[in-house]
Amino acid sequence: MPEYFPEVSEPIQYAGPKSNKALAFKHYNPKKKILGKTMAEHLKFSVCYWHTFMSTGSDPFGPGTMLRTYNEPEDPMEQAKATMDAAFEFFSKLGVGYWCFHDHDIAPEGETLAESNRNIDAMVKLAKKHQRATGVKLLWGTSNLFSNRRFMAGAATNPSPEVYAYAASKVKKAIEVTKELGGAGYVFWGGREGYDTLLNTDMERELDHLGRFLGQAVEYKEKIGFKGQFYIEPKPKEPTKHQYDFDAAACHAFLQKYDLVDHFKLNIESNHATLAAHTFIHELEYAAANDMLGSVDANRGDLLIGWDTDQFPTDIRECTLAMYIILRAGGFKTGGLNFDAKVRRQSIDTVDLFHAHIGAMDAFARGLENAAKLLSSKKLEKFIQKRYAGWDKGLGAKIESGAMDFEALESYTLEHGEPKVQSGRQEMLENILNEYL
Amino acid sequence: MPEYFPEVSEPIQYAGPKSNKALAFKHYNPKKKILGKTMAEHLKFSVCYWHTFMSTGSDPFGPGTMLRTYNEPEDPMEQAKATMDAAFEFFSKLGVGYWCFHDHDIAPEGETLAESNRNIDAMVKLAKKHQRATGVKLLWGTSNLFSNRRFMAGAATNPSPEVYAYAASKVKKAIEVTKELGGAGYVFWGGREGYDTLLNTDMERELDHLGRFLGQAVEYKEKIGFKGQFYIEPKPKEPTKHQYDFDAAACHAFLQKYDLVDHFKLNIESNHATLAAHTFIHELEYAAANDMLGSVDANRGDLLIGWDTDQFPTDIRECTLAMYIILRAGGFKTGGLNFDAKVRRQSIDTVDLFHAHIGAMDAFARGLENAAKLLSSKKLEKFIQKRYAGWDKGLGAKIESGAMDFEALESYTLEHGEPKVQSGRQEMLENILNEYL
Amino acid sequence: MPEYFPEVSEPIQYAGPKSNKALAFKHYNPKKKILGKTMAEHLKFSVCYWHTFMSTGSDPFGPGTMLRTYNEPEDPMEQAKATMDAAFEFFSKLGVGYWCFHDHDIAPEGETLAESNRNIDAMVKLAKKHQRATGVKLLWGTSNLFSNRRFMAGAATNPSPEVYAYAASKVKKAIEVTKELGGAGYVFWGGREGYDTLLNTDMERELDHLGRFLGQAVEYKEKIGFKGQFYIEPKPKEPTKHQYDFDAAACHAFLQKYDLVDHFKLNIESNHATLAAHTFIHELEYAAANDMLGSVDANRGDLLIGWDTDQFPTDIRECTLAMYIILRAGGFKTGGLNFDAKVRRQSIDTVDLFHAHIGAMDAFARGLENAAKLLSSKKLEKFIQKRYAGWDKGLGAKIESGAMDFEALESYTLEHGEPKVQSGRQEMLENILNEYL
Amino acid sequence: MPEYFPEVSEPIQYAGPKSNKALAFKHYNPKKKILGKTMAEHLKFSVCYWHTFMSTGSDPFGPGTMLRTYNEPEDPMEQAKATMDAAFEFFSKLGVGYWCFHDHDIAPEGETLAESNRNIDAMVKLAKKHQRATGVKLLWGTSNLFSNRRFMAGAATNPSPEVYAYAASKVKKAIEVTKELGGAGYVFWGGREGYDTLLNTDMERELDHLGRFLGQAVEYKEKIGFKGQFYIEPKPKEPTKHQYDFDAAACHAFLQKYDLVDHFKLNIESNHATLAAHTFIHELEYAAANDMLGSVDANRGDLLIGWDTDQFPTDIRECTLAMYIILRAGGFKTGGLNFDAKVRRQSIDTVDLFHAHIGAMDAFARGLENAAKLLSSKKLEKFIQKRYAGWDKGLGAKIESGAMDFEALESYTLEHGEPKVQSGRQEMLENILNEYL
């Protein structure tokens, strides 16, 4: 088997913060224990197949810039196999425990559904072999329901029921192979489930179809005994003008309406959060507060740029706050940190893939360490506890218990007069956070 | 009684599109019948008390610029009375059928809740007299739970239960006087129900409190027999960094979670929609698709400006599409078009208030006429019907009826092969719309 | 020669606003005279080669959706010829007077610069033939300096002088063929002249190189006697994070610094303006106020979307204001209205290209008619004249003539006291504008 | 003299990074030497008078929340004096070397210009006394030309020449007192020098007036021998829809056009940069690259919020990159780091002012230390040097020297063929930066 990443001759090692080696972890020490678990167990890093191995730097203004040896075979299946060999070489050299894929990342689409499925089967067989050999596991699988021309107007929300049927067929297969590969979850990202213009759209009917589709997926999952977690991944727009899974709250509304809320959790992506005019941290917090926090697509956007830049996460403050919420919510169960991120178009060498992932893993390792210390200090939690202490007894407890109606509350106010107000201490709390960065 | 708007000596008249008179309606002809109802019945224009009579052009960089004679009395209650006299003079001269207010728009806040309530009572008495005299009705009332220092950290979501109690007392009173004035609805806008920083916030607990608060409001409403409609008004941010009622979908999620969905409809504001990264039209459509379309705060924002500019609506295309959705959904029941809009800081003369409202009313009158013609033509509806026709019989009907599971769908796809795709015809539809503008 | 647009059997005709024909102009009547010139002379519509004939609906989430018969030949030069035949068929059937192109829109890039240039020469020969046969003229030409991998880090601002040299060679050829085809102008759009990260960028040196490059282009233009106008097209970002030609003002600063201001005008694009946080109208006005208004890329963006959507213009208000500024500035000299716009990904039929262009041409025709009426009414101009009348005599005239220094101005103020202020009448002016829409 | 900040009994001390004291510097050690200068000399921290002492937490949705004892005196001049006593107590306790003010921050505006000037004179006398007593210096002064109703349509760009005259009178006085107080600079921020609507605006004439105004200010400065630096502070919008000093490039274009480029440098504000769709770092770099880097308004905005939030800087990465550019450009000459920032509306206690400033000073101290290390390491500089090395000799040097015209460049390309491209290594460089944070 050829070596696809010869510039990295052996697995990336932890070398500590003072190391001058670019191709080494300075903070991510997989076996280091933090709050009773290893870093690797906490962080559950995953490499995404699509950006890392399938994309070559094209953008709307130019084709790919990255020349990969695994793209050299002309036959699509040969290319797919070389790519998968490369992928597992990369996972091993990088030292991550998980990967994620879309059906047609790993296998080329055929002339017919049957051929496509045969291609998938062949590649899944190879993937199983590699998984066994390397110990790398599947964090989640998914089906690409947005690239092919047939999905241009959506998959489950397509005006044509034949496209709905085609999408169902693809998802059926993708759930099956995710099960086959021992995947811990399955993601629904509704890339074109939305609209480009309301002038040609029946929103209510489309939403009903989407509700039905996901309900059928749940039925099929249960029928075949797939135990992995289903996730919806919110994104507000791009490629469509407006996607139905706009943000965590929109997914929450949708899942409640179609009685699916017990069957799905959310896969929160940083850059999707900010495209929806939220912070990443807000979306995590909203998910946690509503028991919907499942998995994370770890990347970063550029807040001055209005499209999904899918950059590797490097912001220590953001990584710290994200890990703080995740730890506080009990850590990942089925999910993990999947790098849904791509190197920049000018980062044309394979070594850039290593720099990118190493930097991101170090950033989240720092985030984990900072968050664990901050959580252990209880500085923020105590502040919050004290701030809301009025609800734990007296008037607040009575209100929470349902003992005070509007008339009782008015009597209370008439008697007690103007409430005391307290500083929110935002700046002090920001300083405390900075101490941990 | 002094005259506050002497520059308009008699009610504004419809003068037709060819008129050269600035202070006349060119399109709004209140008695003109369209689709079986008069323009006035369709549009239900309302003037908001806060911007039109209480604001004087201040912005974060300077104090007010508008010198109003009704602001001259030094005694707060005298000023309030003069202002109300002016308001009803304005309503009458403009020829609108409705008004809206917050409790402390019409009455100054006192030293105590009891005094505040007495002030409100006195002003409500005057308002009733004016309503009788002019025939102007109350579209909705509300309570200001965001200006006073005590509400700086929220009202129902305040860390202090005493503030919750104060807010409840205010809402209780405001519902009572809305009932007293025959108001057709009551609006909850959660101006500071959100957070400035998550570092000091317990989001889950705050949401629970907000759910309880609105539930208690429903109980009280039912207890006193107020038959008006309750509305939530979504807004994503401003004044807080993040408000819980971010957009229609967030309200929908919240109302479902707290089992309030049958008791509330939405009051959709154009400028709030765009601050939430949606179009106004999207929010109306989402509300309509989920049976939550209640009332409208008609204004416009500036999409290149990131705050709520609350400008008067003038965009004929937007007004047409809004009225198209409203007509298609059966028109307003309890709600109407409230101009939650303010004249610019440099528009310092009272005549500018007339120009602004006349322009907005003409814009929506054109919108109504255009929408009625477009709806009658059925051009968009037929296109949509045809686009989704596959769902009305055959495969589509079977899917909708629940007769096809994933396995059946896969069999169908294997047998039938690649679906046909059709042009979305967006540009043609945009041209059709333009024909009606 | 095969027919590529059989769905349109003869040139699109003006059918008037009451026509029900979708494939007819309802407002654009090319021979109608307005303010002494025909509509065609005023508007100078141009079709862009790249979007209309080279793009097939791909986006970052999926490949092309549009199957064109002129793309069927496998040989690149045969395909290029079929495409050009189709293009001129389209120009003729649509009835536009102008076209625009990049070098490698019309001719495939070869293995070497020499081969590329031979390809261009062959295609230019064909283009000349078509121009003669149809009377369609070249509004402007340009060179694509952003798609090829070699330009990934910029062309004139590339860290490698060899890339600078390559770019110079391409521009040299493109200016030559623009001259050959009788082009009225030549556009520089610095698609990757900017940076992705400042961490690897020497901004000062890159700007110096860009200044030199454009200076050399001016020298070469003069050497070969090309009389067309040079334009810079501002755009703030995309594909890069930050482009040096951010907006009209940034170009103005740059051209002054490198002493190029007499040799360039601006090609203002609507969607680029809004991506830079300006209105299209602002950019036109800034250009006009600084004698830099050259040509227009007429499209529209979606202000809720952060990338260049390049949609066809349909907003009558925007078209009216744009034509108002253009007419007031004396109309186009060398420039025109080039539709740098593309049909949506779902608009897959060739007839959609007609719908799109017809709608845009009608929108600008309405804009022209509205603007001409508004200008003739002098309503806005008189208002402005009166608002600034204080500068035409007395104190204002003295200040403008330089007769008042700070000390004299202070004496004046001490003597005359508080200035009178006047309403800006924004709402009234907006109503006046609406009367003309 | 009463003590206004009793919660801080003595000057804030440096206590080191391990201290648990909230009211201590953990990183800012004023006397610590870095690259040959003390931290205090490098950073030149300044407190702004307006936010810190004049604002009380009001926002567009509610009045002030902060009750300050220095605001208790009812007489405006007594209040102004108490406020100034408080301000210098604060400067001393905080340990900053500089302050900044607008004329009517320190002195109330009178009924007439003469009275206003007398008020200013009285307060300047007190300020001089305090400056002498504390050693605190004036970084820059300015005049408020945007709050008073008379300036609602601009100051130098007002349609009324009388307002221009009034503004000139105010600036004249403000320059005089800045000189009197030994100010190192004077700032022009054109808060309303722009437009709310182009419908009533003569942009060209307004720009000419602004050019003249600044030219007259230069003349007056020279006449009275004020040696301080003049700065323009770019801001794109807010309060107006569009301000002429939009960003650094717009100021650069303007200053060149009116031949003022030698007399002004820029005062770059972080939050203004991001409102203009640039990064803070971009604006600093642009200023440095064009020799216009003067002073800094150090704050941060919220990139998800569209208005100027003026928050205290806390982002270590941003502070590091800012100090990196400033150090590389030779450090501050006349300018410094002025905290144009305000505590949040809920931060109602005076101690919050200390938390806020301490956090910001620590953040910039960390930024300075990081930047100094990064600069000393030369890691970024060497990378850039190597990346552009092709320009230092051979082809590149010939191009820079002017020895290669387009024809020579074409010959070179024909001969040498395809240029080699190199990875931009963005991810590796981001990792290097992170090592220093």
Q: What pLDDT, in 10s, does the model give residues B193-246?
A: 999 999 999 999 999 999 999 999 999 999 999 999 999 999 999 999 999 999
Check C347 against B277: CB less than 8 A apart: no
Considering only CB atoms, C306 lies closest to which of A149, A307, A344, namely A307
User: Which of these is catalytic: C27, C42, C51, C102?
Assistant: C102
Flag whether pLDDT at B95 surpasses 90: yes
Kindly tell me the burial class for residue B345, based on how many C-beta atoms sit within 10 Å of its own C-beta (0-12, 13-18, 19 or more): buried
The answer to whether B386 contacts chain D (CB < 8 Å) is: no
Q: How many CA atoms lie within 13 A of A69 on its CB side?
A: 10
Note if the bond before D159 is cis, omega within 30 degrees: no
Considering only CB atoms, B314 lies closest to which of C303, C314, C430, namely C430
- B33, B40, B331, D400 from B36: Cα distances, Å: 6, 12, 12, 76
Confidence at residue C305, expressed as pLDDT on a 0 to 100 scale: 96
Enumerate the residues of chain D whose CB falls inside 8 A of the CB of residue C152.
421, 424
When scoring D428, D429, D436, D437 by the number of chain A Cβ atoms within 10 A, the one with the most, hence best to mutate, is D428
In angstroms, the CA D434 to CA D430 distance is 6
Check C307 against A307: CB less than 8 A apart: yes
Confidence at residue A345, expressed as pLDDT on a 0 to 100 scale: 98
Considering only CB atoms, A239 lies closest to which of C61, C153, C196, namely C61
Return mean pLDDT, chain D.
98
Angle D141-D147-D149 from CA coordinates, rounded to 5°: 140
When scoring A115, A143, A164 by the number of chain B Cβ atoms within 10 A, the one with the most, hence best to mutate, is A164
Cβ proximity of A248 and A286 under 8 Å = yes
Flag whether pLDDT at C1 surpasses 90: no
Residue C44 zone, left/alpha/beta (φ > 0; ψ -120 to 50; rest): left
The answer to whether B282 contacts chain A (CB < 8 Å) is: yes
Q: How far is CA A54 from the centre of its chain?
A: 18
Instruction: Report CA Rg, chain C.
Output: 24
In angstroms, the CA C281 to CA C300 distance is 12
Enumerate the residues of chain C whose CB falls inside 8 A of the CB of residue B320.
none
Residue B166 zone, left/alpha/beta (φ > 0; ψ -120 to 50; rest): alpha
Which residues 222-241 of chain B have a CB within 8 Å of chain A? Answer: 236-237
Chain C: residue nearest B347 by CA?
Answer: C423
Check D424 against A347: CB less than 8 A apart: yes
pLDDT range class, residue B1, cuts 50, 70, 90: confident
Q: What is the pLDDT of residues D316-363, one digit of tens each?
A: 999 999 999 999 999 999 999 999 999 999 999 999 999 999 999 999
Question: What are all long-range contacts of D55-61, with beta carbons under 8 Å and residues at least 24 apart?
Answer: D55/D342, D57/B152, D57/D343, D57/D344, D57/D345, D57/D346, D57/D347, D57/D348, D58/D345, D59/B60, D59/B239, D59/D345, D60/B59, D60/B60, D60/B238, D60/B239, D60/B307, D61/B146, D61/B147, D61/B191, D61/B192, D61/B238, D61/B239
Q: What is the pLDDT of residues D201-256, one digit of tens each?
A: 999 999 999 999 999 999 999 999 999 999 999 999 999 999 999 999 999 999 99
Q: What percent of chain C has pLDDT over 90?
A: 100
Q: What is the pLDDT of residues B113-164, one digit of tens each?
A: 999 999 999 999 999 999 999 999 999 999 999 999 999 999 999 999 999 9
Considering only CB atoms, D302 lies closest to which of B152, B241, B348, namely B241
Check B423 against C362: CB less than 8 A apart: no
Pairs across A and D, CB distance < 8 A: 113
Give the residue numbers of D annotated as catalytic, written as ranges. 102, 105
Give the minimum alpha-carbon distance from A305 to chain C in angstroms, rounded to a whole number. 7
Q: What is the pLDDT of residues B302-359, one digit of tens each?
A: 999 999 999 999 999 999 999 999 999 999 999 999 999 999 999 999 999 999 999 9
The answer to whether C258 contacts chain D (CB < 8 Å) is: no
Residues 6+ apart with CB under 8 A from D36: none
Chain A: residue nearest C344 by CA?
Answer: A196
- Could you say which DSSP state residue B50 is in? I
Which residues 39-98 of chain B have a CB within 8 Å of chain A? Answer: none
First-to-last alpha carbon distance for chain A, in angstroms, is 43
When scoring A345, A347, A349 by the number of chain C Cβ atoms within 10 A, the one with the most, hence best to mutate, is A345
Cβ proximity of D276 and D238 under 8 Å = no
In angstroms, the CA A289 to CA A283 distance is 10
Give the minimum alpha-carbon distance from C60 to chain A in angstroms, rounded to a whole number. 7
Enumerate the residues of chain C whose CB falls inside 8 A of the CB of residue D114.
414
Which chains would you list as touching A if contact means 3+ CB atom pairs under 8 Å? B, C, D
Considering only CB atoms, B396 lies closest to which of A161, A242, A409, namely A161
The answer to whether D348 contacts chain A (CB < 8 Å) is: yes
* Other Cβ atoms closer than 10 A to B271: 26
Cβ proximity of A151 and A167 under 8 Å = yes
Check D196 against C424: CB less than 8 A apart: yes
pLDDT range class, residue C88, cuts 50, 70, 90: very high
Return mean pLDDT, chain C.
98
Give the minimum alpha-carbon distance from A233 to chain C in angstroms, rounded to a whole number. 16
In angstroms, the CA C19 to CA C11 distance is 16
Check D406 against C150: CB less than 8 A apart: no
Confidence at residue C330, expressed as pLDDT on a 0 to 100 scale: 97
Q: What is the pLDDT of residues C317-375, one digit of tens each?
A: 999 999 999 999 999 999 999 999 999 999 999 999 999 999 999 999 999 999 999 99
Enumerate the residues of chain C whose CB falls inside 8 A of the CB of residue A344.
196-197
**Quick one: chain A helix, strand, coil %, rounded to 5?**
50, 10, 40
Considering only CB atoms, C426 lies closest to which of B65, B346, B434, namely B346
In angstroms, the CA C251 to CA C268 distance is 11
- A125, B34, C307, C436 from C363: Cα distances, Å: 57, 27, 23, 14
Q: For chain A, which residues score pLDDT lower than 50?
A: none
Cβ proximity of D270 and D280 under 8 Å = yes
The answer to whether A20 contacts chain D (CB < 8 Å) is: no
Check A147 against C62: CB less than 8 A apart: yes
When scoring C151, C305, C312 by the number of chain A Cβ atoms within 10 A, the one with the most, hence best to mutate, is C305
Check A61 against C192: CB less than 8 A apart: yes
Confidence at residue C109, expressed as pLDDT on a 0 to 100 scale: 98
pLDDT range class, residue D1, cuts 50, 70, 90: confident
Residue A123 tokens read as 């590649």
When scoring C188, C264, C410 by the number of chain D Cβ atoms within 10 A, the one with the most, hence best to mutate, is C410
The answer to whether D258 contacts chain C (CB < 8 Å) is: no
In angstroms, the CA A344 to CA A310 distance is 9
Chain D: residue nearest C171 by CA?
Answer: D406
Give the minimum alpha-carbon distance from A405 to chain B in angstroms, rounded to a whole number. 6
Check B426 against C22: CB less than 8 A apart: no
In angstroms, the CA B117 to CA B208 distance is 28
- Crossing angle for the helix pair C161-180 and D394-401, to the nearest 10 degrees: 50
Residues 6+ apart with CB under 8 A from B45: B96, B97, B98, B336, B337, B338, B339, B361, B364
In angstroms, the CA A234 to CA A2 distance is 39
Angle C39-C40-C45 from CA coordinates, rounded to 5°: 120
Pairs across B and D, CB distance < 8 A: 89
Check B427 against C22: CB less than 8 A apart: no
Q: How many CA atoms lie within 13 A of A111 on its CB side?
A: 0
In angstroms, the CA A47 to CA A5 distance is 16
Q: What is the pLDDT of residues A74-127, one digit of tens each?
A: 999 999 999 999 999 999 999 999 999 999 999 999 999 999 999 999 999 999
Cβ proximity of C98 and C89 under 8 Å = no
Give the minimum alpha-carbon distance from B200 to chain C in angstroms, rounded to a whole number. 31
Confidence at residue D69, expressed as pLDDT on a 0 to 100 scale: 97
Check D247 against C249: CB less than 8 A apart: yes
The answer to whether A212 contacts chain B (CB < 8 Å) is: yes
The answer to whether A425 contacts chain D (CB < 8 Å) is: yes
The answer to whether A202 contacts chain B (CB < 8 Å) is: yes
Chain D: residue nearest C202 by CA?
Answer: D384
Give the residue numbers of B annotated as catalytic, written as ranges. 102, 105
In angstroms, the CA B336 to CA B178 distance is 16
Give the minimum alpha-carbon distance from B387 to chain A in angstroms, rounded to a whole number. 6
Confidence at residue C203, expressed as pLDDT on a 0 to 100 scale: 98
